[in-house]
Amino acid sequence: MRDMAKIQQLVGNITEQDLECVECYVSENMGIFIPSVGFCKYAITPSHTHPSYSFVIFHEKEQSFLDCNIDIPDDHYLAYMIKPGIPHEEKVSDNFVRYIALCIDKDYFENIYQKYISGTTDFINDWIQFTINHEVMVYIKKSTFVRE
């Protein structure tokens, strides 16, 4: 049984039915969400938001729900950081989008961020795009998250 209270703390007003096609791995302050056999119904909700910081890694840049305007080296994935409360949505298509979403509790993220970078986490943009090496998948697969 999934701990919906923890998931809602990270994702927002989501239901068990919204996640029927999504693999979830959650801990106290973060969670990994992977659509495995179909769309996440919450992700395709128009202009939905999350109370947490969202980091989304796309297997193919063409599947991104935001416009990509950076070059992506061959051994990298496109990734986005989306600030809490920023409306976005995944578009429904013939094939569901394959990605990995990491949601990190807002207060937890900002506390850790300030330990490494002085100042606030008041990023200039609502979302930031960047590349991440393919090796990140090794660390995600080895993560110690408890499966819900």
Contact in structure between 54 and 32 (CB atoms under 8 Å): no
- Percent of the chain having pLDDT more than 70? 93
φ and ψ of 136, to 5 deg: -55, -30
How many other CB atoms are there within 10 angstroms of residue 11's CB atom?
27
pLDDT at 148: 44
Range of the domain at 71: 4-147
Q: What is the total residue count of the chain?
A: 148
Report the largest interatomic distance among the alpha carbons of the chain, rounded to a whole angstrom. 45
Cα-based distances in Å from 129 to 8, 24, 55, 62, 124: 25, 23, 10, 14, 12
**pLDDT tens across 42-95, in order?**
998 999 999 999 999 988 777 777 778 889 999 999 999 999 999 998 887 777
How many domains are contained in the chain? Answer: 1
Check residue 145 and report its DSSP letter.
Answer: P
**Lowest-confidence segment of 26-30, 97-101, 119-123 by average pLDDT:** 119-123
pLDDT at 143: 64
